Chain A
Amino acid sequence: MVSLHHYLVLSAILLIIGIYGVITRRNIIGILMSIEIIFNATNINLVAFNHYFYPRALWGQGFAIFVITLAAAEAVVGLSLVLAIYRNLKTLYVERINILKG
C-alpha cells in the first residue's frame, strides 16, 4: 500500500534535487529547469495531502493546476529574459552576468 509518507519522501527528494540544481548550476537555463523541479515537488505535496486528508475534495489538485500554469508563464518570461541576456552579453553563465556590480 502506498502511504502519504512515500509521496512526501519523493517530494522531499525532488525538492533537494531542485535546490541543489539551483545552487550549483552556472547556466541560467539549468537554474530555470531546477526551479521547475521544485515546483513539481510542491505539486506532489499538494495532491498527496489532498488525497489523504480530504479524499472527496479537489482543492489540492486545483491548486496544482494553478501552479503548473504559473510555472508555464514563469518559463515564458524567464526564457525570454534568457534570450535577451544572451543577445546582449553573449553568455549565460551567471558569474559573468555582473554588469550591475560596482
Chain B
Amino acid sequence: MIEHSYLIVLLPLLSALTIFFFGRSLPLKGAVLGICTLGITLIHSLGIFSILLQNPSYITEISIPWFRFGIHQTEFGFLIDGLSALMLVVVTSVSFLVHVYSLGYMKDDPRFKRYYAYLSFFTFAMLLLVVANNFLQMFIGWELVGLASYLLIGFWFEKTSASNAGRKAFITTKVGDIGFFLGILSLFSLLGTLNFAQVQGRIEEGLISANTAGIIALLLFCGAMGKSAQVPLHVWLPDAMEGPTPVSALIHAATMVAAGVYMVARSYFLFQHGPFSLEIIAWVGMLTAFLAATMALVATDIKRVLAFSTVSQLGYMILSMGVGGRAEGMFHLTTHAFFKALLFLGAGSVIHATHTNNIEEMGGLSKKMKLTFIAFTSAWLAISGIWPFAGFFSKDGILEATLNSNNSFLFWCATFVAFLTAFYMTRLYLLVFITEPRDKEIYNHAHESPKSMTIPLLVLALLSLVAGFLLEHSVPLLLSSQVLPPNVHASSAHTYPHWLVPAISSAAALLGIFLSYLIYWLKAVSAEKIASTFSWPYRLLLKKYNFDEFYIYCIIKPADWLAQKLALFDYHIFDQLGVDGIGFLTVKLSQIHDWFDQNIIDNLVDIWGKLSLLGSSILRKFQTGLVQNYILFILFGFGLLMVWQLKINFIELLR
C-alpha cells in the first residue's frame, strides 16, 4: 500500500485533467469523477495512516533522480512518514468532504465543471507538497497550491473585488515565497542537497553554524508567513473570502494555509539548530494570534470572522512550533482543519440559505436549519476549547508547551487569545443562530440546505467531537517516529500540577463564552455602548489595524509613483528620444537612399534598357523575313571575306 503512495498524488492530477478536458461529457460534469477519485485517495491515505500508527518507524522514501548540477543531485520523490501520513489524512478527508459539499453549494454555477477541475488540481498540488521528500519539490507544490488558490479566490471573476482579492493573495504570498526560495537556494549552496534526510544529516554533522541555520530557517519561515498568513503578511486571507465558501473551507482554513505550519514542522531540525529562530517565530505567532483575534471581535461578515479566526489559530500553531511544541502544533493543525472546515461549511450553508454574509442581518436560524445548527454547535464548542471537543485537547497541548518553555508572558497571551477566541465565536454563534431574527424577510426565506451539504457537515461535526480523543496520543507517537530528534522540551520536568493548564484554558473559554452571552444574549451591556466608549480602539479594529492602509501608503503608492515616473522617463527618453529618434533617422536615411536609388541606380538600369532598345531598333531592320535579302547579306559577307583573303594574297604577290 505504501509502495503505491504515488497514486495518492497522481489520481487527483488525472482527475483534474480529465474533468478539465472532458468534464462536459462526464456524469454531473465531472463532479462524480472528482468525488470518486478523492474517495479512493482518502481510503488509501487512511490505510497508510493506520500502517504508520501501528509501526511509527516505518518510513518509506521512494525517489527518482530528477536532474543534477555537477555532483549535486536533485530528486523527485515521495516520503511517507508519520508527519506526511497525518497530513495526507487531513488533506484528503477535508478535500473529499468539500468535494461532496460543493455538489449542493455550486449546483447552479455556470462554471461548475471548471470548479471541480480546480478543486482536484488543488488537492493534487497540496498532496505533492505533503509527500515531497525534498525542498524543491515542496516548493513546486507550494507554488501550485498558490496558483490553485488564486484561481479559486478569483473564481467569480466577474466581481472586481474577487479578482482583486485573487491577485492580492497571490502577490502577498509571493513576497514570502521569495524568502522561502532564498532559503532553499542557501541550503543547496551550503549543503549541496535538498533532500530532507540528507539536509538533516549534514546539519547534524555540523556543516553549518547555528547562526547560519537560524537565518536559513527564518528565510524558510518567510514562506510560511506568506502562506500561513502570519503578521505582517496576513492581509490577503480576509480578502480571500471572496472565493466560494467551500473553497475557503478547504484552502483558506484547513489545508493550504496550514502548509506553512507543515513546512516548519518538516524542517524543524533547522529551527532547532538555530534556536533564536524558534524564539522569533514564537513571537510572530503570538502577535498574529492576538491581532487576528482582536480583529475578529468586530467583524460583521460571517466569513471574515472565520478568516480572522483562522489567522489567529494559525498564529497559535506557529507559536506552538516556536516554543518547541512541534507535535502539539501539528495536532492543533489537524483538529483545526476539521472544526474550521466545519465552521466554514456551516457558514456556507447559512449563506446558501440567507444570501447574505452579514451576521447583523441573520439571527434565529437554529429553528430553520436544525442540522447546520447542530454541526455548527459542535464546531463552536471545539474552537472555543470546551471538553470533550477536539479544540480542547490541541489548544491545551499548545498552552502546556508554551508554559513549558518558561516564558510566562507568552503563556498568558496565549490564554488571553483563547479567551478572545471563545468570546468572538460565541458572538458569531449567538448572532447567527440564537438571537431573535433581525431581518424578517431573510429569516422567512431561510431553509435547510440539501443532503449533499448537510451530510459532510455532520461527518465533520463528528470528527470535531472525537478527533481530540482519537489523536491526542497518536500524533506525538507519529511525530516521534520522525527522522527528527525528539522534542527538546518534551522531557522538561513539570513544576506545576498537570490539571493546571486544562483548568486555566477551560476557565478562559468559559469566561469568554459567558461574557459574550452577557453582551449578546442578556444584553446586560450593550455592544454599541462598548463600541462608542472605546471608539478609538473600535475603529482601529474595524480598520484591521490599518495594515492595508499602511501597505497602500508605504508600498503601493510609492511603487505606483515610481512606476509613473519611470513610465514618463520611459516615454520621454526611451520612446521619444530613443525609439522615435532612431525611427526618424531611419526615415531620413531611407529618403536619401530612395533618391539615390531612383536617380542613380534606376537610371543606370534604364540606360542599359534604352541601349538595347536602340540597338535592336537598328538591328531589326535587317530581319526582313525575305530569304533573298539574307542571301544578299551572305553574299555581301562572302564578298568581304574574299576581299580580305585576296588582300593578303596581294601582299604576298607584291613581295
By a beta-carbon cutoff of 8 Å, the part of chain A in contact with chain B is 19, 22-24, 31, 94-95, 98, 100-101
Selected interface stretch from B38-46, B322-330, B621-629:
B621-629
A69 to chain B, nearest CB (A): 24
Q: Which of A19, A95, A100 is in CB contact (< 8 Å) with B626?
A: A95
Q: Is the CB of B628 within 8 A of A23?
A: yes
Chain B's closest residue to A100 (CB) is B625
**How far apart are the CA atoms of A98 and B626 in the complex, in Å?**
9
The list of the 8 closest CB pairs from A to B, nearest first, reads A101-B625, A23-B628, A23-B631, A23-B632, A98-B625, A22-B631, A94-B626, A19-B635
Q: Is the CB of A94 within 8 A of B627?
A: yes
Q: List 17 A-B contacts (CB under 8 A).
A: A19-B631, A19-B635, A22-B628, A22-B631, A23-B628, A23-B631, A23-B632, A23-B635, A24-B628, A31-B628, A94-B626, A94-B627, A94-B628, A95-B626, A98-B625, A100-B625, A101-B625
**How far apart are the CA atoms of A100 and B624 in the complex, in Å?**
12
Chain B's closest residue to A25 (CB) is B628
Main secondary structure on B side of the interface with A: helix
B73 to chain A, nearest CB (A): 83
Q: Which residues, 600 to 631 on B, are CB-close (under 8 Å) to A?
A: 625-628, 631
Query: Which residues on A sit within 8 Å (CB–CB) of B632?
Result: 23
Query: Which residues on A sit within 8 Å (CB–CB) of B631?
Result: 19, 22-23
Chain A's closest residue to B627 (CB) is A94
Query: Which residues on B sit within 8 Å (CB–CB) of A31?
Result: 628
Chain B's closest residue to A95 (CB) is B626
**How far apart are the CA atoms of A101 and B624 in the complex, in Å?**
9
Query: Which residues on B sit within 8 Å (CB–CB) of A98?
Result: 625
**How far apart are the CA atoms of A95 and B627 in the complex, in Å?**
10
A100 to chain B, nearest CB (A): 8
**How far apart are the CA atoms of A22 and B625 in the complex, in Å?**
15
**How far apart are the CA atoms of A101 and B635 in the complex, in Å?**
24
**How far apart are the CA atoms of A24 and B635 in the complex, in Å?**
13
**How far apart are the CA atoms of A31 and B626 in the complex, in Å?**
13
**How far apart are the CA atoms of A24 and B631 in the complex, in Å?**
11
Query: Which residues on B sit within 8 Å (CB–CB) of A100?
Result: 625
Query: Which residues on B sit within 8 Å (CB–CB) of A22?
Result: 628, 631
The digit string for B616-655, where 1 denotes a CB below 8 A from any CB of A, is 0000000001111001100100000000000000000000
**How far apart are the CA atoms of A23 and B626 in the complex, in Å?**
10
Query: Which residues on A sit within 8 Å (CB–CB) of B626?
Result: 94-95
Chain A's closest residue to B632 (CB) is A23
**How far apart are the CA atoms of A22 and B635 in the complex, in Å?**
12
B615 to chain A, nearest CB (A): 19
**How far apart are the CA atoms of A49 and B614 in the complex, in Å?**
50
A13 to chain B, nearest CB (A): 16
**How far apart are the CA atoms of A95 and B628 in the complex, in Å?**
10
**How far apart are the CA atoms of A24 and B628 in the complex, in Å?**
8
**How far apart are the CA atoms of A94 and B635 in the complex, in Å?**
19
A74 to chain B, nearest CB (A): 15
Chain B's closest residue to A31 (CB) is B628
**How far apart are the CA atoms of A95 and B629 in the complex, in Å?**
11
B63 to chain A, nearest CB (A): 86
Query: Which residues on A sit within 8 Å (CB–CB) of B627?
Result: 94
The digit string for B534-574, where 1 denotes a CB below 8 A from any CB of A, is 00000000000000000000000000000000000000000
A78 to chain B, nearest CB (A): 13
A28 to chain B, nearest CB (A): 10
Other than the given A24-B628, A95-B626, A100-B625, 13 more pairs (CB < 8 A) read A19-B631, A19-B635, A22-B628, A22-B631, A23-B628, A23-B631, A23-B632, A23-B635, A94-B626, A94-B627, A94-B628, A98-B625, A101-B625
**How far apart are the CA atoms of A22 and B634 in the complex, in Å?**
13
B624 to chain A, nearest CB (A): 9
**How far apart are the CA atoms of A101 and B627 in the complex, in Å?**
13
A32 to chain B, nearest CB (A): 12
Query: Which residues on B sit within 8 Å (CB–CB) of A23?
Result: 628, 631-632, 635
B200 to chain A, nearest CB (A): 98
**How far apart are the CA atoms of A98 and B635 in the complex, in Å?**
23
A91 to chain B, nearest CB (A): 15
Query: Which residues on B sit within 8 Å (CB–CB) of A24?
Result: 628
Q: Which residue, of B627, B628, B632, B635, has the highest number of chain A Cβ atoms within 10 A?
A: B628
Chain A's closest residue to B629 (CB) is A23
Q: Which residue, of B626, B627, B632, has the highest number of chain A Cβ atoms within 10 A?
A: B626
**How far apart are the CA atoms of A23 and B634 in the complex, in Å?**
11
A95 to chain B, nearest CB (A): 7
Query: Which residues on A sit within 8 Å (CB–CB) of B625?
Result: 98, 100-101
**How far apart are the CA atoms of A101 and B623 in the complex, in Å?**
11
A26 to chain B, nearest CB (A): 8
**How far apart are the CA atoms of A100 and B625 in the complex, in Å?**
9
Chain B's closest residue to A26 (CB) is B628
Query: Which residues on B sit within 8 Å (CB–CB) of A95?
Result: 626
**How far apart are the CA atoms of A94 and B630 in the complex, in Å?**
13
B396 to chain A, nearest CB (A): 113
A82 to chain B, nearest CB (A): 14
Q: Which residues, 170 to 228 on B, are CB-close (under 8 Å) to A?
A: none
B626 to chain A, nearest CB (A): 7
**How far apart are the CA atoms of A19 and B631 in the complex, in Å?**
9
**How far apart are the CA atoms of A22 and B629 in the complex, in Å?**
10
**How far apart are the CA atoms of A67 and B537 in the complex, in Å?**
136
A11 to chain B, nearest CB (A): 16
**How far apart are the CA atoms of A24 and B627 in the complex, in Å?**
11
**How far apart are the CA atoms of A22 and B628 in the complex, in Å?**
7
Chain A's closest residue to B625 (CB) is A101
**How far apart are the CA atoms of A55 and B625 in the complex, in Å?**
46
Chain B's closest residue to A22 (CB) is B631
**How far apart are the CA atoms of A31 and B628 in the complex, in Å?**
9
B437 to chain A, nearest CB (A): 106
B309 to chain A, nearest CB (A): 100
Query: Which residues on B sit within 8 Å (CB–CB) of A19?
Result: 631, 635
**How far apart are the CA atoms of A80 and B423 in the complex, in Å?**
130
B259 to chain A, nearest CB (A): 89
B397 to chain A, nearest CB (A): 110
**How far apart are the CA atoms of A94 and B631 in the complex, in Å?**
14
B616 to chain A, nearest CB (A): 14
**How far apart are the CA atoms of A23 and B635 in the complex, in Å?**
10
B623 to chain A, nearest CB (A): 10
B215 to chain A, nearest CB (A): 95
**How far apart are the CA atoms of A19 and B628 in the complex, in Å?**
10
